[in-house]
A and B are shown apart, each in its own frame.
Chain A
Amino acid sequence: MLRFLVRRTLGAIVILFLLSIVTFLLFFGMPRDPALLMCGKTCNPTSLANIHHVLGLDKPVPEQYWIFLHNLVLGSNQFDQGPCPAPCFGYSYHTNDLVWQTLMDRLPTTVSLTLGGAVCFLIIGLGTGLLAAWKRGTLIDKTATGGAMVLSSMQIYFLGPLALAVLVYQTHWFDKPAYNNFTGDPVTWFTGLIIPWVVLSTIFAAQYTRMARSSMIEQLQEEHVRTARAKGMSRQYVFFRYAWRGSLIPIVTIFGIDLGSLLGGAIITEYTFSLPGLGQLAVQSVFFSDLPLLLGVMLFSAAMILLFNIIVDAAYAFIDPRVRLA
């Protein structure tokens, strides 16, 4: 297990390193000069050059990258805005805030949104999927599969505004979505996120229903499941001990991918509900050509996806003893 973690973490670091090079190089191909944005209306070549110098854009690219890497690992005191402890992505061109600090400020919103949503869609999705598999071929199964089919073809930018219009503005049953600190007031934290959770989980739950159902039905046809029945184990026991275990593998795989990418920024959801999470931050950084922020967001979401990749692979080993971690 330890070997596995060390190996995979090293691998992830290598990937992040390569990714940082690629992103870094890509951004220098961007048509917009970030200095131009900061330069403002009174821009002249001298002040532009000055900004270039301040931002370090007048140095050769390899040197810029080296500085970036150095700051990332060791931190830096070279910034005018103040000290930048590791991991230092520098200061945002746009807001002049520490990039890392900005990320950390936005993270709770995204984590709350994602984890809350995940709990909802797992419970609803898997529950419905299992029920459909158990009642295969009956009206319950057909309703569940049909409903899941309809819902999974929906989009957040459709369901989101619809939910807002009906549940918030029309009936006033729910508060307008907003992020309130959990530690501050758990109740408003909950009420502020409930609509995004419902919308997010509706669409995801539908996918998980279909997946859980098909995966269970497949498992129920496995020979070892038949053996368990031939031993006289009850239907419930066979269903939940034998078939369920095997059907977890595809579910865990998809869940890991979903959670990783959601944590990297649920862009559309955050935008739809104006939640100040990482997804919004990513869009803003692109919009303002805010290179340090963009690099920070990109590497952070990549790290999230890689982290969940490792977690998924480790989970396999817990589910299936045939999987050896090495």
Chain B
Amino acid sequence: MTTLTKDAGTPAPADAGAFLSVRDLHVSFKTEDGVVRAVDGLSFDLARGKTLGIVGESGSGKSVTNLTILGLHNPQFTTVEGEILLDGQELITARESELEKVRGNKAAMIFQDPLTALSPYYTVGRQIAEPFMKHRGASKRAAWDRAVEMLAKVGIPNPKERAKDYPHQFSGGMRQRAMIAMALVCDPDLLIADEPTTALDVTVQAQILDLLKDLQQEFGSGIIFITHDLGVIADMADDIMVMYAGSAVERGTTDEVLRAPQHPYTWGLLNSMPRLDSDLAMPLTPIPGAPPSLLTPPSGCRFHPRCTFQDRVGGNRCVTERPLLGPDRASACHLTADQKHTIFIEEIKPRLG
């Protein structure tokens, strides 16, 4: 575990382990067509200063999970059950006023598209200064100075002047830097980054990813990094959780999940992704079919309609019984550990080229 020096005033927890614990989270939305079970029984932990990568495709529930952590869902249409503990504080049952003290302070968020995620109506400096004034009780003056300091830190040239600019006067990469400055202004313990580089060009993405890593060293925040891009996650995360159709199907350290993956869905992702160093003679092996509708999710294992390995599981278990995901290194699949190992070594790995 990385040891970190935090601001005085933040009480050091007795157990430096998980300071964010999500237990058996269920999130569902009421829609005109019925109830969408966006997250269905999700549990995970994040240690201080560590990065958890959540990877999954659209509709996997990865973004919903993280909006729920900060209570940013619409309570009118959303039902949330389970437990979210941040530094000992239960967030699901917390009142709005308590959540406001957490948001932007203890836990901050970076969104995908910085153009729409920043308000067009206020200067970049003001938008960064606001949470600092709110959470630290800083004066306008002090908060503005802090905003300029943060802009300098994230690499905005001429920050004193640029703080007076509006987001539309920034380029895409600079906007995302400003967004990062805004998220880090109160030195949060938890940073949730929801596809923060998906809208950016590849050379800018590389700059932003490295910047986040370097800033994490300095600020010591734990990061939840949500992405659909396995390459990005490999670059950023200490641990990986793979999500499919509202629940986690595999978790482990980045090395474990990417080099010895155990779940057929993770295999599918790796096999369908072209890489710069892959063998060109080897065609991509896509996952057949499409992700299920969360209005009527498949019975048993939610991946079974697309899984090519279900016949190796005895009986009809994949259709009838939902595989559970254990703690630590685990995968939610009825295949035996031996089967998973052999299939990966003999059938999946050779296809990775």
Contact = CB atoms under 8 A, between A and B. Distances in A.
A222 to B, nearest CB: 7
20 contacts: A227-B109, A227-B179, A230-B72, A231-B104, A231-B108, A231-B130, A232-B101, A232-B103, A232-B104, A233-B130, A233-B134, A235-B96, A245-B119, A245-B121, A246-B120, A246-B121, A319-B121, A320-B120, A321-B120, A322-B120
Given A223-B116, A246-B120, 18 more contacts: A223-B113, A223-B117, A224-B117, A224-B118, A226-B72, A226-B117, A227-B109, A227-B119, A227-B179, A228-B119, A231-B104, A231-B108, A231-B130, A231-B134, A233-B134, A234-B100, A242-B121, A246-B121
B134 A321 contact: no
Contact of B166 (A229, A233, A246, A321): A321
A137 interface: yes
Mostly, the B contact residues are mixed
A230 B166 contact: no
Interface string B165-195: 0101000000000010010000000000000
B121 A232 contact: no
Interface string A63-76: 00000000000000
Nearest to A222: B116
Most B CB atoms within 10 A — which of A137, A225, A230, A319? A230
Interface string A244-265: 0110000000000000000000
B193 to A, nearest CB: 12
Mostly, the A contact residues are helix
Contacts of B168: 321-322
B146 to A, nearest CB: 14
A245 B102 CA distance: 26
Given A235-B96, A242-B121, A322-B166, A229 B116 contact: no
Interface of A: 136-137, 222-235, 241-242, 245-246, 319-322
A232 B72 contact: no
A55 B102 CA distance: 80
Contacts of A230: 70, 72, 103-104, 108-109, 111
A233 B118 contact: no
Given A232-B101, A232-B102, A245-B121, A227 B111 contact: yes
A232 B130 CA distance: 9
B72 to A, nearest CB: 6
B119 A242 contact: yes
Contacts of A228: 119, 130
A248 to B, nearest CB: 10
